[in-house]
Structure 1
Amino acid sequence: MPLHPEIAADLALAAARGEPPLKELSAQAARARAEAEPRVAGAPVKAVETIALPVKSGTIAARVYRPFGDSDALPGIVYIHGGGWVLCSLDTHDNICRNLAASVGAVVVSVDYRMAPEHRFPVASDDCLAAVRWIAAHASDLGIDPARLIVGGDSAGGNLSAVTALRIRDEGGPALAGQMLIYPVTDDIAAGHPSYVEFADGFGLTADDMAWFWDHYVPDPTERTHPHASPLRAESLAGLPPTLLLTAGCDVLRDEGEAYAGRLAAAGVMLDFHRYEGLHHGCAGDYGRLRAVTPFFEHIVAWARAIFRL
């Protein structure tokens, strides 16, 4: 199915700017461009606070979004932003986190994990695991019900969320109520998934972009099949928490995300999977600006509220 006309028009406007591709930029220049991109304002929330989380060799920042309401024990979402393990920040994904907090009625904690190339694999994964464990241990201080805590993210953040859920299963908790995987990276770029050819260029995220991201995050190709880099390569997916996995129909990552969904279902994991035809990679950030994205984002909200029994 082709791109939704609204998405196609938006991508055409972006292409008309004639910006150089990622492969021609340094990580620093690419970050500056990503931070300068105009963004839609997120929904109003009751409070936003920045905190420090302890990780190996230091601390990282996290931003806590509290929805309106008076409950002292709300459900919690640990959100891990996308950006190919190299780009983006708490600011670039502020709108997504605000919208989740407001629409779901949950405390959202957005994690500012350390990024490549300064901090290569597996630092980002280690940071995210440490963050989830700290948040679970300090749930009452954050006003979160520890029995209703999920981890989720988009793209590379979906990758890190899936890896975090695997490591929590294998390395001793804490228990998660669910994992929310939004067009996630799940496999080594060399795997040859057909969507890498079908949507190689002209759909936002390109195949060349993904090669650039992998080269920065896991420059050694022999490490890219490790399950903590490519969760699709995990020996078993049994025992993982209830999962939402959404893919975009016009996305280089579509097929590996759907392969992961297939393995989750085969392993008996409670799964809510859907492919949104006509959408592109990164569409979650366009909620509130592009009407075509509304059903996609509302699906995320409905799943989370069901998991949290709201």
Structure 2
Amino acid sequence: MKTPDVLARVTVQMRAVLDRQTALSDDAFETDVALEEMRRRYALERVFWNEGGPVMVATVDDLVPGPSGNIPIRAHRPSGASGRPCIVYLHGGGFVVGNLDTHDRIMRTLAERTGSVVVGVDYSLSPEAKFPMAVRECAAVVQHLRAAGAALGIDGNHISLAGDSGGANLCLATTLYLRDEAPGQAIRCLILYYGMFGLRDSLSQRLFGGEWDGLARADLDYYLRCYTTGPLDLESPYLDCLSADLSAGVPPCYIAASGLDPLRDDSLALSALLQEADVPHRLRVFQGVLHGFLHHSRMLPEAGEALADGADFYCGLLAATAR
């Protein structure tokens, strides 16, 4: 099939972001280089996008006990008040790249806009750690914060999850894992930015993805090979979340997709399934931008809009439960 000229469809601001990316770290998203070099390039390109942004009252790095050792976390507190709701942020990067620094400005922005403590999780990356280790680690962090979050000014009874790309997958997978393995650990809200939720093929995967976003078919296959131990993992409801029972234990969801993203249809499918399951949610598709656009709030209006829209959805739930 003839595929569209994706770069001809991006906004002027998105084009400027791509030019800046090239200047910062050419070929930042290539997957055919050594693992450490790929991580180095990704982290280097992200430095510029994380400069500036909201200033927190306190930022605390800590360690949380996990299933295979301590898990680094970073807590951003936007105010001095204690007993605040918490958003646990799970970063994207195909389960292979990314860390607390590469997504720091996103986390600080959500903290400022929601008034909640945002806790980032530096879960173990693949291929060193295979599925479902990251899911189990994220679940361990939620359970720790529920029991001992007061030390970070957190209300352990009001924990939500947010994440982008692979991190959005981890948000939904962690919610389902806690539902199934640790009843009583309910999550209040999910904020899901352009996630991979389990589609192995789709119209958007056929139309979009390339060297501009590092999500060509070969790249998508690479990330899944790194993350999984074999084909059976792809059938797990904690990876193929669209095959899971979504009719119980799934909280209200904010879902943001980018219109030129090969993963766009994952978000559309999730929205349709949540509609069938009567799960409250909001879907918004941001046109003219590429996968990963949330990072680019320094230059891209849609990034700020997506962060604000997700925060507004979350705050609306807070207000409704407070009444």
Q: Same fold (TM over 0.5)?
A: yes
TM-score normalised to the size of structure 2?
0.89
Displacement after TM superposition at 1:21 (Å): 5.5
Q: CA deviation at 1:13?
A: 4.7
Q: Note if contact 1:203-1:251 (Cα within 8 Å) is conserved in structure 2.
A: no
Alignment of 1:4 onto 2:11: yes
Equivalent position to 1:201, from 206, 210, 220: 210
TM-aligned CA deviation for residue 163 of structure 1? 0.3
* 1:249–1:276 Cα contact (<8 Å) kept: yes
Q: In structure 1, what is the Cα distance between the partners aligned to 2:95 and 2:211?
A: 22
Identity %: 31
Matches within 5 A, 1:72-111: 72-111=82-121
Shift of 1:10: 2.2
Name the CA distance, whole Å, in 2 between partners of 1:289 and 1:20: 18
1:148/1:36 CA distance change after superposition, 3 Å: same
Residues 126-150 of structure 1 deviation map (CA, whole Å, 9 limit, x = unaligned): 1011111111111322211233210
Query: Corresponding residue for 2:66?
Result: 55
Is 1:31 the counterpart of 2:39? The answer is yes
Aligned counterpart for 1:250 among listed residues 249, 260, 277 = 260
Deviant stretches of 4+, over 4 Å: 15-18
How many residues are matched?
Answer: 307
Question: What is the letter of the counterpart of residue 10 of structure 1?
Answer: V
Q: Deviations over 1:246-266 (max 9, x none)?
A: 111111110012101111111
- Aligned counterparts of 1:23 and 1:76: Cα–Cα separation in 2: 34
C-alpha distance in 2, partners of 1:111/1:59? Answer: 11
Q: Which amino acid aligns with 2:114?
A: V
SS of residue matched to 2:313: helix
Contact 1:151 1:180 in 2 (8 A): yes
Shift of 1:71: 2.0
> Deviation digits for residues 35-80 of structure 1, max 9, x if unmatched?
1113232310001111111111211100011112x42111110010
**SS state at 1:22 partner:** coil
Deviation, structure 1 residue 123:
0.6
Residue number in structure 2 paired with 1:177: 188
Which whole-Å deviations, capped at 9, do the CAs of 1:172-193 have from their partners, x for residues lacking one? Answer: 13122111111111015xx211
Q: Which residue in the other structure is 1:211 paired with?
A: 221
Q: Could you report, residue by residue, the CA deviation over 1:217-266 in whole angstroms, capped at 9, with x for unpaired residues?
A: 11512321211111112144433111111111111110012101111111
Q: Specify every segment of 5 or more residues in structure 1 that has no aligned partner in the other structure, as ranges.
A: none
Q: For 2:259, what is the secondary structure of its paired residue?
A: strand
- Structure 2 counterpart of 1:115, one-letter code: L
Does structure 1 retain, via aligned residues, the 8 Å contact 2:17–2:299?
Answer: no
**CA distance in 2 between partners of 1:20 and 1:90 (Å):** 18
1:127 aligns with 2:137: yes
2:289 match: secondary structure: strand
Deviation at 1:307, TM superposition (A): 2.1
Q: Report the CA distance between 1:15 and its aligned residue.
A: 5.0
**Offset of residue 18 of structure 1:** 4.8
The match for 1:22 is: 30
Give the Cα separation in 2 of the matches to 1:20 and 1:176. 34
Unpaired stretches in structure 2, ≥5 consecutive residues: 1-5
Residue by residue over 1:71-101, the C-alpha shift from the partner in whole angstroms, topping out at 9 and shown as x without a partner, is: 2111110010001001010010111111111
Do the aligned residues in 2 keep the contact of 1:6 with 1:292 (CA within 8 Å)?
Answer: no
Which amino acid is 2:106 matched to? I
Q: Is 1:306 matched with 2:316?
A: yes
Q: 1:198 to 1:288 in 2, by over 3 A?
A: same
The answer to which of 200-209 and 249-258 deviates more is 200-209
2:150 to 133, 140, 147: 140
Judge conservation of contact 2:142–2:159 (CA < 8 Å) in 1.
no
1:262 maps to 272
1:149 alignment partner, SS class: strand
Residue 288 of structure 1 is aligned with which of 273, 298, 311? 298
